[in-house]
Amino acid sequence: MPPRDKGPARRWVRDYVDARWNLGEFFLPVSLVVVIATLLVGNNGVAAFFTIIALYAIVIISVVDAFILGRFIKKGLARKFDEDDIPAGTRMYGVMRSFQIRRTRLPKPQVKRGQYPS
Would you list the domain boundaries of the chain?
24-104
The total number of residues written for the chain in this structure: 118
DSSP state of 73: H
Question: Alpha-carbon distance 55 to 50, whole Å?
Answer: 9
| pLDDT 10s digits, 23-68 | 999 999 999 999 899 899 988 989 989 998 999 999 999 999 999 9
Say if residues 29 and 5 touch (Cβ distance below 8 Å).
no
DSSP label of 41? T
% of the chain at pLDDT higher than 70: 100
